[in-house]
Amino acid sequence: MHIHFLDPYRAGNSPLHAADARLKFVLTLAFILTASLTPPAAWPVYILLLALILSIEILSGLGVGPVLKRSLLALPFVLAALPLVFTVEGQALFSLPLGAWTLTASVEGLARFVSVALKSWLSVQAAIVLAACTPFPELLQAMRAVGLPRLLVAMFGLTWRYLFVLADEALRLMRARAARSGAVSSTSLKAGGNVAWRAGVTGGMAGSLFLRAFERSDRIYVAMLSRGYDGEVRALPLPAFTAAHWLTLTAGLALLALLLGFGLLFWG
């Protein structure tokens, strides 16, 4: 079976792959909400949440290493919280002279920054496991089953599908450029012009990519309308929630509520 490089789903026979999509979706949202609401510096709770998500990664068969590697994508966004180290008042940690100003880092600010980084890291891991163990059509069905608005789910579905359209158009442009470009046999010579010339070529390709993707997406949408698309993706009815599903959901939510309550009680 062909797997597109943008598709995060990885087929498997683990219990997590076989679990109901609604169950996985609700528990993942509950995990992310628990991590987000956990007070700063509640380190025992963060350790327990990390142990929980690592156990789920092992149970899923995806492996801890690949998931941790993909979760590093969250690190650049965590840097947006770096000013917390210098803006939160508290016990001075160190001072950083910056021209006419002096930035003073605090212990409380550092704790707040590390807490934000951990929350983001844990949440991204949970989202990666959910996407890797659940086909995207099943995720859309789960969103509709738990009551998300039809328009919002349709936006998620169309955005995801048009990412593949954009990627395919980009690959076609790259192949066309390679077919029309010459190759330099000598390693001492550099193909292409200067930086400004390369920037102009890149800008032209980006504009062409936007126009081609826009035209193709419009044709796809018209084809969908001609086949009866009205904003709702039709699918077979989902199986009923069994007693085992309800028990797993209740136990998972109770565990997460216990961890959150523990954090709020001692560090809130």
Residues 224, 57: Cα–Cα separation, whole Å: 37
User: For the whole model, what pTM was predicted?
Assistant: 0.84
Where b means 16+ CB within 10 Å and e means fewer, 32-56 reads bebbeebebbbeebbebbeebbeeb
- Position 91 scores a pLDDT of 86
Answer whether 73's CB lies under 8 Å from 97's CB: no
Q: Which residues in the chain show pLDDT less than 50?
A: 1-2
Q: What would the pLDDT profile of 135-157 be if each residue is shown by its tens digit? A: 998 999 999 999 888 888 888 88
| Cα distances (Å, whole numbers) of residue 106 to 29, 85, 113, 268 | 32, 6, 11, 19
- Position 159 scores a pLDDT of 86
Domain ranges of the chain: 1-148+240-268, 149-178+206-235
Q: What would the pLDDT profile of 52-97 be if each residue is shown by its tens digit? A: 999 999 999 998 999 998 888 878 888 888 888 888 888 888 888 8
Q: Which of 259, 261, 262, 184 is nearest to 31 (CA)?
A: 259
β-strand partners of 94: 105
Answer whether 17's CB lies under 8 Å from 133's CB: yes
Average pLDDT, rounded, for the chain: 86
Q: Which of 100, 72, 64, 105 is nearest to 86 (CA)?
A: 105
Residues 21, 140: Cα–Cα separation, whole Å: 9
Question: What are the phi and psi torsion angles at 230 (to 5°)?
Answer: -130, 25
